[in-house]
């Protein structure tokens, strides 16, 4: 019998599903919800090169750089529905981006992120 933790999608699975949903739901903005590679697993050599190239620890997972409701854009730190926790570097980025005029949020799972995007684009209520 599967454990409850096994039934909860991984963050990457939620993110893949979210990108696919977004591109279908918003064809005029397809490809504009972009991700950072911050959480990707990579070799030490690749990680060092990515850092040198500007990949910053804690940078939000998803970015929609489309102004709405007085915000410069939407940035989402995506977490698993259960088990994901916000790291200090992630909190720092979200705080700084909010100060710069972005809607910067943490969303737990696909549903929360989808609802946030819909709210941001004028179709519902965003999370936090």
For 87-117, what is each residue's pLDDT tens digit?
999 999 999 999 999 999 999 999 999 999 9
d(CA 88, CA 95): 11
Structurally, at CATH architecture level, domain 7-120 sits in: 3-Layer(aba) Sandwich (3.40)
Is 35 strand, coil or helix?
A: strand
pTM, whole model, 2 decimals? 0.85
pLDDT digits (tens, 9 = 90+) for 56-86: 889 999 999 999 999 999 999 999 998 889 9
- CA 28 to chain centroid, in Å, comes to 20
Q: How far is CA 7 from the centre of its chain?
A: 21
Q: Where are the domains of the chain?
A: 7-120
């Amino acid at each position: 019998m599967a454990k409850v933790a096994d039934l909860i999608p991984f963050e990457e699975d939620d993110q893949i599903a979210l990108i696919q949903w977004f591109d279908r739901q918003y064809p005029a903005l397809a490809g504009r919800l972009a991700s950072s590679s911050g959480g990707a697993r990579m070799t030490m050599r690749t990680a060092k090169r990515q850092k040198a190239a500007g990949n910053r620890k804690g940078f939000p997972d998803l970015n929609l750089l489309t102004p709405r409701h007085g915000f410069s854009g939407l940035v989402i730190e995506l977490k698993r529905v259960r088990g994901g926790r916000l790291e200090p570097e992630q909190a720092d980025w979200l705080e700084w981006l909010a100060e710069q005029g972005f809607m910067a949020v943490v969303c737990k799972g696909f549903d929360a992120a989808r609802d946030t995007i819909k709210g941001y684009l004028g179709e519902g209520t965003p999370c936090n």
